[in-house]
Chain A
Amino acid sequence: MKLIYYPGCTLKNQAKNFEDAGLCALDKLGIEVQELERWNCCGTVFSLVTDDLIHHLAPVRVLIRTKEAKSNSLMTMCAMCFNTLKRANERVRADADALSTLNDLMYEEETKYEGDVDVYHLLEILKDKIGFETIRQKTVKPLQDLKVASYYGCYLIRPREIGIDDPENPQILEDLTASLGATPIDFPYKTECCAAYKTVDNPNIVAERTYQILNSARQLGAEVVVVSCPLCAFNLDARQKETSKLYPEFQHVPILYFTQLMALALGCSEEKLRLDLHYIDPKPILKSKGLI
Chain B
Amino acid sequence: MRINISRKNINDLFVAKIQELSGQNLLACYQCGKCSAGCPAVSDMDLLPNQIIRYAQLGLKDELMHSKSIWVCASCMTCNVRCPRGIKIAEVIEAIRQILLRKRADHLPLENLSPEVKCQVPPIALISSFRKFTS
Would you give the shortest CB distance from A30 to chain B, in whole angstroms?
A: 30
Q: Are B74 and A10 in contact (CB under 8 A)?
A: no
Decide yes or no whether A52 CB sits under 8 A from chain B. Answer: yes
Residue of A nearest to B39 (CB): A193
Q: Which of A78, A200, A209 has the most CB of B within 10 A?
A: A200
Q: Are A43 and B131 in contact (CB under 8 A)?
A: yes
The digit string for B5-20, where 1 denotes a CB below 8 A from any CB of A, is 0000000000000001
Decide yes or no whether A137 CB sits under 8 A from chain B. Answer: no
| A48-B80 Cα distance, complex, nearest whole Å | 12
Residue of B nearest to A189 (CB): B40
Of the stretches A98-106, A152-160, A254-262, the one at the interface is A152-160
Would you give the shortest CB distance from A245 to chain B, in whole angstroms?
A: 15
8 Å CB contact of A14 from B75, B108, B122: B122
| A41-B122 Cα distance, complex, nearest whole Å | 13
Q: Are A192 and B40 in contact (CB under 8 A)?
A: yes
Q: Are A199 and B125 in contact (CB under 8 A)?
A: yes
Residues of A within 8 A of B88 (CB): 48
Q: Are B123 and A200 in contact (CB under 8 A)?
A: no
8 Å CB contact of B133 from A14, A158, A201, A230: A201
Q: Are B81 and A200 in contact (CB under 8 A)?
A: no
Decide yes or no whether A9 CB sits under 8 A from chain B. Answer: yes
Q: By the criterion of a CB under 8 Å from any partner CB, how many residues of chain B are at the interface?
A: 40
Decide yes or no whether A197 CB sits under 8 A from chain B. Answer: yes
Q: Are B76 and A80 in contact (CB under 8 A)?
A: no
Q: Are B81 and A78 in contact (CB under 8 A)?
A: no
The digit string for A32-52, where 1 denotes a CB below 8 A from any CB of B, is 000000000101110111111
Does more than half of chain A's interface fall in helix, strand or loop, or is it mixed?
loop
Q: Which of B21, B40, B131 has the most CB of A within 10 A?
A: B40
Residues of B within 8 A of A289 (CB): none
Residues of B within 8 A of A193 (CB): 40-41, 74, 76, 78
Would you give the shortest CB distance from B52 to chain A, in whole angstroms?
A: 14
Would you give the shortest CB distance from B107 to chain A, in whole angstroms?
A: 7
Decide yes or no whether A122 CB sits under 8 A from chain B. Answer: no
8 Å CB contact of A197 from B23, B77, B125: B125
The digit string for A163-204, where 1 denotes a CB below 8 A from any CB of B, is 000011000000000000000000000011101111111000
A205/B44 contact (C-beta < 8 A), A15-B122, A196-B76 known: yes
A48/B125 contact (C-beta < 8 A), A193-B74, A196-B74, A201-B107 known: no
The digit string for A205-247, where 1 denotes a CB below 8 A from any CB of B, is 1001100000000000000000000110010001000000000
Residue of B nearest to A154 (CB): B76
Residues of A within 8 A of B127 (CB): 9, 41, 43-44
Q: Are B72 and A45 in contact (CB under 8 A)?
A: no
Of the stretches B27-35, B57-65, B89-97, the one at the interface is B89-97
Q: A48-B94, A238-B120 are in contact. List 9 more A-B contacts (CB 8 A).
A: A9-B127, A43-B127, A50-B23, A154-B77, A159-B77, A196-B75, A200-B117, A201-B71, A205-B41
Q: Can you list 27 A-B contacts with CB-CB less than 8 angstroms, sorted by A residue number?
A: A44-B131, A45-B75, A47-B94, A48-B88, A49-B94, A50-B21, A50-B22, A50-B23, A51-B21, A55-B131, A80-B124, A158-B78, A159-B77, A167-B81, A168-B81, A191-B78, A196-B125, A197-B124, A197-B129, A198-B72, A200-B117, A200-B125, A200-B126, A201-B71, A201-B107, A230-B124, A231-B122
Q: Which residues of A contact B (CB under 8 A)?
A: 8-10, 13-15, 41, 43-45, 47-52, 55, 78, 80, 154, 158-160, 167-168, 191-193, 195-201, 205, 208-209, 230-231, 234, 238
